[in-house]
Amino acid sequence: MSEKIKSEVLSRRRVLALLGLTALSLTVPTVLTVSDAEAQQATPPAGAETGTERRQERRTRRTERRQERRTRRVKRRMERREERRENR
């Protein structure tokens, strides 16, 4: 008679699963409530730029500086080539 009936035996795993489901069923209704509040639109002060505009300006300036460096580099290269041709 040492045999246990399977329906009467609850393993720790089943007990924890039941507790988890119970806790979940209690918290879900409170989490899923709908709020009537709306997000506020942030308005920058007059004359202030948004982050996107500042970033775009930085990128534009960076691109212009890079292009100027490339142009100067090509000019120097051409001058050196001309000097070498003249020296020959």
Question: Helix H segments across 1-88?
Answer: 12-31, 51-87
- Per-residue pLDDT, averaged over 23-48, amounts to 71
Q: Can you give the pLDDT at residue 1? A: 47
Angle value at C-alpha 28, between 23 and 30, nearest 5 degrees: 110
Q: What are phi and psi of 75, to 5 degrees?
A: -60, -50
- Per-residue pLDDT, averaged over 23-37, amounts to 70
Helices (H) and strands (E) in the chain, counts: 2, 0
pLDDT at 27 over 60: yes
